């Protein structure tokens, strides 16, 4: 259980950092009207669409982190094969698959609109990795559901 405590502490630190840094960046973007200072001499102009997409990605990231924190909390209370864990794994999978589908579609529409090209890129990028990770969490949800049912049957046998 020591590893679980370390994981929970890391997730708590990530959660706090994500909230604080996300809030600071959001306020910074509102006041600087779309300019981000990369270093003291260079400024990067960010469009409204890019800012919106970054905000949506950030919200997806926060939701997955929050759901994962809930799973770790349940594991610490030794609630391993419960319907709650199955639902949480499935929710993480749905959020990851949904976010990757949204951003794959956006990249396709962006290529079509800005370059006038009808092209689909199948690169090994973050969207594809996120899609695979989401499907993995959905499969993990099914595995935990089967394990939960086997545990119930085993408890009834004894």
Count the domains in the chain.
1
The confidence score (pLDDT) of residue 32 equals 64
The confidence score (pLDDT) of residue 55 equals 84
- 86 burial (CB, 10 Å; 0-12 / 13-18 / 19+) is buried
8 A C-beta contact, residue 57 and residue 74: no
Residues 6 or more apart in contact with residue 134 via CB below 8 angstroms: 92, 93, 94, 95, 96, 97, 98, 99, 100
More confident residue, 17 or 112: 17
Question: What pTM, to 2 d.p., does this model score?
Answer: 0.80
DSSP E strand stretches across 5-65? 35-37, 43-45
Residues 6 or more apart in contact with residue 69 via CB below 8 angstroms: 8, 11, 12, 15
Instruction: Note the pLDDT tens digit of each residue in 100-133.
Output: 988 888 877 877 777 777 666 666 678 888 999 9
Q: Residue 111: which domain range?
A: 2-157
Residue 22: pLDDT band (50, 70, 90) is: confident
Query: Which ranges in 33-82 belong to alpha helices (H)?
Result: 48-76
Residue 153: pLDDT band (50, 70, 90) is: confident
Mean pLDDT across 143-152: 92
| DSSP category for residue 112 | I
In degrees rounded to 5, what are phi and psi of residue 125?
A: -115, -170
pLDDT at 46 over 70: no
């Amino acid at each position: 259980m020591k590893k679980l405590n370390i994981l929970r502490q890391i997730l708590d630190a990530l959660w706090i950092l994500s909230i604080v840094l996300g809030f600071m960046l959001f306020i910074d973007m509102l006041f600087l009207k779309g300019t981000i200072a990369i270093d003291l001499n260079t400024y990067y102009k960010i469009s409204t669409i890019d800012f919106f997409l970054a905000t949506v990605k950030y919200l997806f990231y926060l939701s997955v982190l929050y759901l994962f924190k809930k799973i770790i909390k349940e594991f610490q209370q030794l609630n391993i094969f419960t319907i709650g864990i199955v639902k949480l794994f499935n929710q993480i999978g749905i959020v990851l698959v949904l976010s990757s589908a949204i951003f794959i579609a956006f990249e396709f529409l962006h290529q079509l609109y800005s370059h006038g090209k009808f092209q689909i890129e199948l690169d090994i990028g973050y969207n594809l990795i996120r899609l695979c990770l989401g499907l993995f969490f959905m499969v993990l949800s099914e595995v935990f559901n089967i394990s939960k049912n086997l545990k119930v049957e085993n408890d009834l046998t004894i």
